[in-house]
Amino acid sequence: MARVFSGIKPTGSVHLGNLLGALRHWVAMQDEHQAVYCVVDLHALTVPHDPDELRRATRSLAQMLVAVGIDPERSTLFVQGHLTEHTECAWVMECTSAFGELRRMTQFKDKSDGSDFVSGGLFTYPALQAADILLYDTDQVPVGEDQRQHIELARDIAVRFNGRYGDTFVVPEAVIPPAGARVMDLQYPEIKMSKSDGGEQGAILLLDDPAMIAKKFKRAVTDSETEVRFDPTSKPGVSNLLSILGAATGQSPATAAVGIERYGDLKAATAEAVISLLRPIQDRYHELAADPAETDRLLAMGADKARSIASPTLDRVRDNLGLLSR
């Protein structure tokens, strides 16, 4: 079975874009792959953060991943900071990547622009990400389009390392869902839904209650026409609603449009579909959140499983580099 690895940062709240664009693919991939999923808390340290909030968000994100359907028994679900192998391997990745390569990463440019404190970690972020991936002999990395460049870098590092020191790493591939998987902001349908960019009204958070979800869809921006039709270029708002309705009900956006005549009905149908999609996830989340000790037990088990893969890889890396064995 091919191995998949992916990671998500414990910053902000998980939203519908994360679910439809990433997490539900993670869930589906568990059936035919050996899946390893990681809450990347160390990556959250690259920008200023609040320690209590990080603790809360890390556990909460792990609970949300289980709630959406990641099975900690069948797959490996763990927290990056529980394994020293990641930071140790990250140093090796830094020494195998070129300064110029890291400087070309667009995420670094975007995130450092205009910040008054740019950490060294923000610059070397993709080297840690490469370590995450390569430690697990990963074949496929399911991520959004924005991560393509980082996966390319991980590939380049793997190839370079193998060339210099002998066959050590599996060269991974990015798996990026089709463009339709991008969920757009409900208020600004030309930008993607996110926890920070669009503002509170434009994003459906997975923990929003039904009244809040209904309200956000009711206020969603459409256009000055009246026709319900899937056409992302000229009708971005309406098309986004159709994409969401389709994704939530397992249909194409065009099929989802059939029989809906008015914008008000489209908004109501989409809200209802999303409320039904999220209800079982929220129920499960609240159950898990009531028992943090159980989450910690699952994460400790996940860390053990992760270590049993990462540690032999790191031994191989050390040996091939010429580091004395310990």
**Interacting residue ranges for ligand TRP, rule: CB under 6 A:** 5-9, 40, 43, 129, 132-133, 141, 143, 147, 150
Range in contact with ligand AMP (rule: CB under 6 A) among 107-115, 187-195, 220-228, 274-282: 187-195
Active site residues: 111, 192, 195
Task: Choose which of 3, 33, 59, 192 interacts with ligand AMP (CB under 6 A).
Answer: 192
Extract long-range pairs of 318-324: CB within 8 Å, 24+ residues apart. 320/165, 320/166, 320/168, 321/92, 321/165
Cβ nearer to ligand TRP, comparing 129 with 187: 129
CB 174, min distance to ligand AMP, A = 10
Choose among ligand AMP, ligand TRP, none what residue 40 binds, the Cβ cut-off being 5 to 8 Å by kind: ligand TRP
The nearest distance, CB 281 to ligand TRP, in angstroms, is 20
Closest CA to 160 of 100, 103, 97, 89: 97
User: Got the DSSP string for 212-279?
Assistant: HHHHHHHT----SS------TTT-HHHHHHHHHHHHHHTS-HHHHHTT--SHHHHHHHHHHHHHHHHH
Q: How many residues does the chain have?
A: 326
Q: Which does 112 bind (CB under 5 to 8 A by kind): ligand AMP, ligand TRP, none?
A: none
How many CA atoms within 13 Å lie on the side-chain side of 191? 10
Based on DSSP, count helices (H) and strands (E) in the chain, helices before strands.
13, 5
Q: How far is the CB of 172 from ligand TRP (least distance, A)?
A: 9
Dihedral sign, CA of 249, 250, 252, 255?
negative
Cα–Cα nearest to 40, from 121, 137, 148, 155: 121
Interaction partner, residue 157 (ligand AMP, ligand TRP, none; CB < 5-8 Å by kind) = none
Instruction: Quote the CA–CA distance of 81 and 171 in Å, as a whole number.
Output: 24
Binding of residue 194 to ligand AMP (CB under 6 A): yes
For residue 183, state whether it binds ligand AMP (rule: CB under 6 A).
Answer: yes
232 belongs to the binding site for ligand AMP (CB under 6 A): no
Region binding ligand AMP by CB under 6 A among candidate stretches 191-199, 213-221, 223-231, 316-324: 191-199
Maximum Cα interatomic distance, the chain, rounded to a whole number of Å: 71
Determine, following the binding rule CB under 6 A, whether residue 144 of this chain makes contact with ligand AMP.
yes
Closest distance between ligand AMP and the C-beta of residue 262, in Å? 26
Q: Nearest-5° angle of CA 85, CA 86, CA 91?
A: 100
* 281 scored as a contact of ligand AMP (CB under 6 A): no
- CA-to-CA separations, 247 to 123, 160, 165, 285, in angstroms, rounded: 36, 40, 46, 21
Q: Which of 53, 73, 110, 146 is the binder for ligand AMP (CB under 6 A)?
A: 146
The interface partner of residue 287, options being ligand AMP, ligand TRP, none and the CB cut-off 5 to 8 Å by kind, is none
Residues 10-49 that bind ligand AMP (CB under 6 A): 17-18, 21-22
Judged by beta carbon, residue 184 or residue 256, the one nearer ligand AMP is: 184
